[in-house]
Structure 1
């Protein structure tokens, strides 16, 4: 489902059209571009709600918002990559999977605490 700016503002009552446009301009939300302006999907709506929480509920400073959003984007990206890796490992023969798990465990045991 897709929504225009006014529909998004109507769905998220704590959001103003001005704030939405600023956040899009800052790149905090990246809607698709339709013939009559930005078009938001459910993921955009979720991100807008997150920004509302960060700004209005948690009173996070404006300059911290892009940092938090970037960290969250990186986390989601890493999770997607790990999921793909796990699926690839799962498709390997039992012996290969066992070897991968053994090397992984050995690597974790030798890695200094706090490093990733």
Structure 2
């Protein structure tokens, strides 16, 4: 679902138009550019709510917000990659999976 700035402000009453535009300008929120202006999807709205919670509920200052957002983006990216790898591994023959499992456990055992 795509929302306009006005619709986002209706859904996220903790943010002002000025704040929203500043967050977009700063790159904290990256909406699509629609024919009639910025177009926010569900991910954008969730991120806006997260920024509101960080600033209001957790008292995170503006210097720390982009650091937290970057770390979360990295975390979600790694989770996507791990899901892709897990899916690819599940499609491998049992013999290949067992070899990978043995290799992994022997590697982990060498580190301790």
Structure 1: 5+ residue stretches without partners: none
Structure 1 CA distance for aligned equivalents of residues 95 and 13 of structure 2 = 55
Query: Normalised by the size of structure 1, how large is the TM-score?
Result: 0.93
Query: Normalised by the size of structure 2, how large is the TM-score?
Result: 0.96
- Deviation of 1:103 after TM superposition, in Å, equals 1.0
Q: Which residue does 2:41 correspond to in 1?
A: 41
Structure 2: 5+ residue stretches without partners: none
- Superposed, 1:1-116 pairs within 5 Å as 1-111=1-111
- Deviation of 1:110 after TM superposition, in Å, equals 2.4
Structure 1 CA distance for aligned equivalents of residues 109 and 10 of structure 2 = 52
Structure 1 CA distance for aligned equivalents of residues 107 and 38 of structure 2 = 47
Runs of 4+ in 1 over 6 A off after TM superposition: none
- Deviation of 1:109 after TM superposition, in Å, equals 2.4
Structure 1 CA distance for aligned equivalents of residues 25 and 60 of structure 2 = 19
How many residue pairs match? The answer is 112
* Cα RMSD, aligned residues only: 0.9
Structure 2 CA distance for aligned equivalents of residues 50 and 63 of structure 1 = 15
Q: Which moved more, 1:100-109 or 1:33-42?
A: 100-109
